Chains A and B, each alone.
Chain A
């Protein structure tokens, strides 16, 4: 009796090892930057330059539906793939994906934002819990991307700008699909250059987007273009 139990245990451990050998962990980190400067946020706002005329106070966004591809074919799809990234919480910027088998891939694909079917599915948990501050309240729908701060160019209360981008219904669907060729597959680093977004905006004119609209779609495209693979 005892013997057979030990044997079972050994076989089990053996299996686990085989499984472990075959599993592969892919680490993906997101690095918010302002031009060349690292941009980690804390309770005090990030000052883009010394004269403090541009500040970034909040940067939060969803990435979802992670997939890995080889020669254009999907080789891995992450289950329950919804991640809320918050520049104030460094640990949220590090993602890891475990594949069951070893895979080779040359491309990463994901969505910036939350797909339309999740937007009409009622209350959800985890990173999608509406307590996370990324759900509109007066109107249903997730905020895909949030960027807030101040600029001397804004003639608004406290010189604030606020961009809450989202919307899942056409023609104002803001969801963006991003694809990147990757050559160091087990560690991928993506830079989000906030300067590239803000430089293209005239903050005196555009400083407040808080609901689904054409501007939100345009800005979402600009945000998508501000992601780049880090070369080092």
Chain B
């Protein structure tokens, strides 16, 4: 009898575990919290993710049909614009900010360096309409998509309706972005007790927890808050960060704390891409903190690190690289779809 009960409860638990996975739409890594994104309003399906992937890679989203999301967010650099301090958009126009790496967006509450965007679904509107990025508008994109041979079919498969709407376009793009989950770094293996840090990485991890983790909080390596981390104002850009949205002086120079996952590949760093190397970032935190009214209290006293300790922190940061993410074929340019469409 007892055995049966145990068996029953195990079965129940398994069913519940699957339920949870189904409700969320993505597999939640064991060491991750519950996603923020409300999947009940946009449940993931393979057809919708695929449609979103096609849209993400398709320059039809821009006015001159030349710039796609992937122009500024390429997979091998964790979906940032590698080597570009400020992103380049349509007709080589230069934007005002560094393109952030895209991953684990289902756990993020607000988007953009200043939190201008409040929901992942409406994120794509910003680059599409920005005159320096894609310079298009959603209504136009919808009519361009409707006029293709390819997309009415893809929308039919995904949403059961070949009439394309703005809502469906945005939700599909969201679905692809939600599928970008990076959780297979060496750090994750260590946390799941499947691997161990070497001494240097372990020391770096200890120092990281002491000096950095209050903002770059595990396991996502961001606390999703806005902080001033002591960067002096670049007077050619005059970017006041969060202040631009809230108009509250207490938000001046605050920017969204970025994730540090795959940081090895997402250089250059900071909202304006001012640092090319991680060693420069560490020198910033130890020696170049610019004091100001809104500087985060943690940074009022300088962080003291020897040069060996800096190297150790960097060694730890490199354990956040996730090759299975950077080279996941599910995120590649969807050749199959586009070459088939070209033949039709």
Contact = CB atoms under 8 A, between A and B. Distances in A.
Interface stretch (B124-132, B306-314, B333-341): B124-132
Q: Which bucket holds chain A's interface residue count? A: 20 to 34
Q: Which bucket holds chain B's interface residue count? A: 20 to 34
- Tell me the dominant secondary structure on chain A's binding face: loop
B115 to A, nearest CB: 9
A130 B117 contact: no
B226 to A, nearest CB: 14
Interface in B160-208: 165-168, 170-171, 174
Interface in A120-169: 120-125, 128-133, 135, 137-141
Contacts of B128: 137
B2 interface: no
B120 interface: yes
Interface in B235-272: 245, 247
A131 B117 CA distance: 17
A77 interface: no
B245 to A, nearest CB: 7
A119 interface: yes
B116 interface: yes
A213 interface: yes
A22 B180 CA distance: 53
Interface string B125-162: 11011100000011100100000000000000000000
A123 B177 CA distance: 14
B119 A130 contact: no
Contacts of A122: 38, 41-42, 119-122, 170-171, 174
B117 A139 contact: yes
Nearest to A124: B167
Contacts of A139: 116-117, 126, 245
Nearest to A125: B167
A141 B184 CA distance: 35
Nearest to B121: A122
Given A135-B122, A139-B245, 12 more contacts: A121-B41, A122-B41, A123-B42, A123-B166, A125-B166, A125-B168, A130-B170, A131-B138, A131-B165, A137-B130, A138-B126, A140-B116
8 contacts: A122-B171, A125-B166, A125-B168, A129-B167, A130-B166, A131-B166, A135-B122, A140-B122
Interface of A: 119-125, 128-133, 135, 137-141, 213
Q: Which 5 A-B pairs have the closest CB atoms?
A: A122-B121, A131-B166, A137-B129, A123-B170, A123-B121
